Amino acid sequence: MAAAAGAAETLPTDDLIARATLPITLLVQAASSAATLAPAVAAPELLARMRLPVVAVGIYIGLIYLAAMVSSQWGAALVRRWGPIRTSQVALACSALGLVGVASGILPLAVAGCLLVGVGYGPITPASSDMLARTTPPRRFALVFSVKQTGVPLGGAIAGAMVPAALLRGGSTEALGEVAALCAAGIVLAAVLRARLDGLRDAAAPWPRLAQTREPIRFVLAHPLLRRIAFCTFVFSAVQVSLGSYLVSFLHDELAWGVVAAGAALSAAQLAAVVARVAFGLVADRLDDGARRTLRALGAAMAACGLATLALTPSTPHAAVLALAVAYGATAIGWNGVYLGTVARVVPREQAAMATAGSLFFTYFGVVAGPPLFGVVGGLGHGLAASFALLALPLAWTLWALRRPR
């Protein structure tokens, strides 16, 4: 993304920016992530209300990320015109309104709500990448971006803990309403930094156009390293969102867990990823060729966890199932910070939003394609464990793609 005309390439620094930028981006990411996963956690009740099969969970996720694929490509243009904070606030407002539509239980409104949640999710990461790339030393990119990206599993953990309890109190309407309120809180708190972090915006910049969705994609395809990593994240994201979307249904339907216990397992898996993302960021920053080696190791670990689900039965001790869920969550959800830090590191700072948006197109495409296919395999009578195991095949391809270049 080109900087605003006449503006410096970095934001002015003061104590408030130094102390609050990372926490604010973390909060915004967590609220947005919770909004995307909350309906999947509430799936048993929502599907019963709308008389839909379990495969509808994958369709829901696909609709969200189909919208996010498009809106993420607008992220750079919106950041240029509005600034990253206002862009984040509008995105959270879209997510909150989308949850209201999903909570209605009326199929047309629920579909519109899915799309609106996706429209809100897409610009969040380009906006935060713009803020962090301009306020973070490059030597700390993997760590700082990993800390910010802990907002994704943190949001999942919030959804896993908040939604089942709210379901018991007041049903899916109350559960999704509470997550919408979290998005509203993010809008209010982000306003603290708007005057400072939106200082490089260009109010005369053009509005996003449909033709602009191709610009970030072309940017990534023309960059060999970005292209290779983006293709791998197509697979990684399919694994990540399949786990987050179907873990509760897998534990409830196939292992006979209660919905609260299954939600708690999802929270544990997401919390493990919070710690893992920071740890993987530290490793990637300190190792020679650390990003490639870290991503390759994570791909192998994801494949192993997916295959291990074939051994689970209703009689498997809960502790063993929980341990596998934690390991799966740490690896399948723990790669994003290393990936985004690498994207920001290999381009000029003013192009961080552009590079992030283009890369996310491929990441979100994996989310669009993966969960529906995952659900179809499970719905054909093979079970969700078979779906988890089959993810090992595309993950094996990433190990080849991330081999050391000549």
Instruction: For residue 148, give both structure tokens.
Output: 């910010």
Tally the residues of the chain.
406
Question: Where does the pLDDT of residue 55 fall: very low under 50, low under 70, confident under 90, or very high at 90 and above?
Answer: confident
Residue 64 has which token pair? 């969200």
Q: What is the mean pLDDT of the chain?
A: 85
Cα–Cα nearest to 123, from 372, 370, 361, 350: 361
Using CA atoms, how far apart are residues 252 and 78, in angstroms rounded to an integer?
Answer: 41
Specify the pLDDT at position 2: 36
Looking at per-residue pLDDT, the higher value among 356 and 305 belongs to: 305
Q: Is the pLDDT of residue 4 over 50?
A: no
What's the CA gap between 95 and 35, in Å, rounded? Answer: 6
Q: C-alpha angle 189/195/196, rounded to 5°?
A: 95
* CATH number corresponding to 15-202+213-401: 1.20.1250.20
Q: Are 154 and 33 in contact (CB under 8 A)?
A: yes
pLDDT for 191 beyond 70: yes
User: 3 near 354, Cβ under 8 Å?
Assistant: no
Section 258-277 average pLDDT: 87
Residue 84 reports pLDDT greater than 70: yes
Domain ranges of the chain: 15-202+213-401
More confident residue, 387 or 8: 387
At 238, the amino acid letter reads: A
Widest CA span in the chain:
66
What's the confidence (pLDDT) of residue 283? 87
Least confident of 32-46, 78-92, 195-209: 195-209
Whose CA is closest to 307, among 289, 324, 331, 322? 324
Instruction: Compute the C-alpha angle 30/35/41, nearest 5°.
Output: 110
Instruction: Of 12-26, 47-61, 225-239, give the range with the top mean pLDDT.
Output: 225-239
pLDDT of residue 236: 95
| Residue range 301-310: mean pLDDT, rounded | 95
pTM exceeds 0.75: no
What is the mean pLDDT of the segment spanning 16-21? 74
Instruction: Report the candidate in 396, 397, 373, 395 with the shortest Cα–Cα distance to residue 384.
Output: 373
Q: Reply yes or no on whether the pLDDT at 200 is more than 80.
A: no
Q: What is the C-alpha to C-alpha distance for residues 236 and 372, in angstroms, rounded to an integer?
A: 15
